[in-house]
Each structure stands twice: as C-alpha cells, then as structure tokens.
C-alpha cells in the first residue's frame, strides 16, 4: 500500500519536474527568438530608412548612395566576376597576415618568456613600437618591399605582432605559479614546464588574441591597400572615392563587414572546438 503511494509520489514529482523544465526551456527559446527578431528588424529598418532617405532626397545619393544601388552594384560585380579578384586578393592578404601575425607574435612571446634577460632588454623597444601609429611606417614598407602584396602583409604584421606578443607573454606570466611548482617538483625541464603547463593553460588567452587579430588584420590590410595596392577591396574604396563613386565605396564596406564577420565566427568556432572540455 505504502509502496504504491511512494511510486505515485515519485511519478508526480517527476512529472512536475519535467513540466517545469519544459517551461524553462520554452521561455529561454522565446527569449532567444525575440532577440533574433529584433536584431533582424533593426537591420531591415536601417536599410529601409537609408533607402527612404535616399529616395525622398533627405540625403545626397551621390555621397551616401542607397541600399538598392549598393546591392545592385554588389550583384553585378559578383555575377560579372569583376569583384572576385579583388575579394580574393584582400581575403588572401588578411588570412596570411592574420595567421603570420598570430604565429610570429606567439613565437616572440615564447622567446622572451624563455629568456627573462631578452625580455628585459626588449621591453622598452616593444612599448615604443606598440605605441607608434604603424600606418606611419607604410611609406618605409613600400620602399623596402615594393608596392604590392609583401608591403601590405608587412603593414598588417606591424599592427598585429607586437600586441599579440604582449598579450600572450602576459598570459604566460599569469599562469598560476603553483601549477608550475607541481611539474617542477617532478623534476621537469624548462621545455617540459612550457609544454605541459604554460602553453596549455595559455590557450584561452591565445585564442582570444586570435579574435582581436581578426579585426587588426583587416585594419592592416585595408590601410596597406589604401597606400599601395592596385587591387583589393581597400583599393576599390580608394578608387571609388577618387572617381566619386560612393556606391562602390559603400558596397566594398558591406562586403568587408560580411567577410570579416565570417572570419570572426570561424575563430569563435575554433575556440569552441579547442576549449570545449574545460
């Protein structure tokens, strides 16, 4: 008799819990879809406002163009094939600048972590170089590497490497010294300390510099293209500006926004992959 009551109690408790959980999940889903809806609505509203303003003559279409024109431009450039070379050049430069910048920056961080002496020696140089507007070095890069791909990648590197080094080196140094003590107590060598503790525990910091570097690389590449290029999205912006074709400028900006977002999301995905089980 009693056991039947107990089973009933357990069943009703389970039902109640399930129901509560279901309600909770539904509420969460509603919240998510509300955010998405408002987000999308905001974007549409922006474009509608822009289009209306252009048609009603509130803004000068020569300067600000209009969404219709911009999308028509993008569509015709895409289908006509004239956009692809520019896009691929810029994306290529950005990806290479991004990867090289992160790699070199991390390597430099490893080197100065390895040698505290070198770190002390290089410290003021890095601070000075980091606070300098790197764009100012553009002309020098052009003279050194010629007006083209190399100069643009170097411009990107000048922006990304030092900041990567500083952030990664900082994260190397902020590793819990007790974790290091653990491996040292087993007689670990410096290579082992680095490989077993310093690097794995700095992964989150390294990945978050990746995120920053996506944006930095785009800045570097576009600025580089402003200065030297004969192709690429940065070149299209400058060209559009010079011939007063602001539809071209705006469409280039939109494309940059889209591709940069895609790259960023890719890095976020990689981050999830690496840090999923912590």
Partner 1 sequence: MLPLVQLKGVTHAYLGDREATLAIEELNLTVDKGEFVSLVGPSGCGKTTLLSIISGLLQPSRGDVYVGGHPVLEPSAEIGYMLQQDYLFPWRTILDNAVLGLELTGNLNEETRRRTLGLLKELGLEGKENAYPSELSGGMRQRVALVRTLATGPKLLLLDEPFSALDYQIKLQLEDLVAETLLRRGTTAILVTHDLAEAIAVSSRVILLQPNPGRIRRIFTVPEAIRSTPPLYARDLPGFAELFHTVWKEMELAGRGD
Contact positions vs partner 1 (CB under 8 A)? 176, 178-179, 181-188, 192, 196-197, 200-201, 203, 277-278
- CA-based nearest residue to 235, from 62, 86, 77: 86
| Burial of 8 (C-beta count, 10 Å sphere; 0-12/13-18/19+) | exposed
- And the tokens for 71? 């999308």
- Minimum Å distance from CB 205 to partner 1? 13
- Minimum Å distance from CB 187 to partner 1? 4
- Minimum Å distance from CB 172 to partner 1? 16
Residue with Cβ nearer partner 1 (85 or 200): 200
CA angle 135/265/227 to nearest 5° reads: 20
Element housing 102 (H / E):
helix 83-114
- Minimum Å distance from CB 278 to partner 1? 5
- Minimum Å distance from CB 180 to partner 1? 9
Position of tokens 């974007």?
A: 43
The CA distances from residue 46 to 50, 73, 75, in Å, are 6, 19, 20
CA distance 58 to 127: 47
How far is Cα of residue 204 from the mean position of the Cα atoms in its chain?
A: 15
Residue with Cβ nearer partner 1 (201 or 245): 201
Residue with Cβ nearer partner 1 (2 or 277): 277
CA distance 45 to 111: 51
Residue with Cβ nearer partner 1 (69 or 196): 196
Residue with Cβ nearer partner 1 (56 or 191): 191
Residue with Cβ nearer partner 1 (180 or 212): 180
- Minimum Å distance from CB 268 to partner 1? 19
């Amino acid at each position: 008799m009693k056991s039947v009551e107990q089973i009933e109690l357990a069943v009703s408790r389970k039902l109640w819990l399930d129901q509560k959980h279901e309600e909770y999940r539904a509420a969460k889903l509603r919240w998510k879809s509300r955010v998405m809806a408002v987000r999308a609505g905001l974007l549409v509203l922006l474009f509608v406002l822009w289009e209306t303003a252009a048609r009603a003559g509130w803004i000068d279409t020569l300067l600000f163009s209009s969404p219709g024109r911009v999308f028509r431009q993008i569509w015709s450039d895409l289908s006509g094939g004239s956009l692809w070379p520019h896009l691929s050049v810029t994306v290529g430069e950005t990806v290479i600048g991004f990867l090289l910048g992160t790699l070199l920056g991390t390597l430099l961080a490893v080197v100065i972590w390895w040698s505290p002496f070198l770190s002390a020696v290089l410290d003021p140089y890095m601070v000075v170089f980091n606070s300098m507007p790197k764009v100012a070095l553009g002309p020098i890069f052009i003279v050194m590497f010629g007006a083209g791909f190399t100069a643009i990648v170097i411009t990107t590197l000048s922006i990304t490497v030092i900041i990567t080094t500083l952030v990664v080196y900082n994260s190397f140094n902020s590793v819990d010294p007790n974790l290091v003590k653990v491996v040292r107590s087993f007689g670990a060598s410096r290579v082992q300390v680095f490989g077993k503790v310093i690097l794995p525990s700095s992964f989150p910091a390294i990945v978050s510099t990746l995120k920053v570097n996506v944006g930095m690389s785009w800045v570097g590449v576009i600025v580089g293209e402003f200065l030297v290029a004969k192709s690429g999205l940065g070149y299209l912006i400058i060209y559009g500006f010079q011939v007063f074709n602001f539809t071209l400028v705006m469409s280039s900006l939109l494309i940059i926004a889209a591709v940069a977002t895609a790259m960023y999301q890719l890095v976020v995905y990689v981050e999830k992959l690496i840090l999923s089980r912590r």
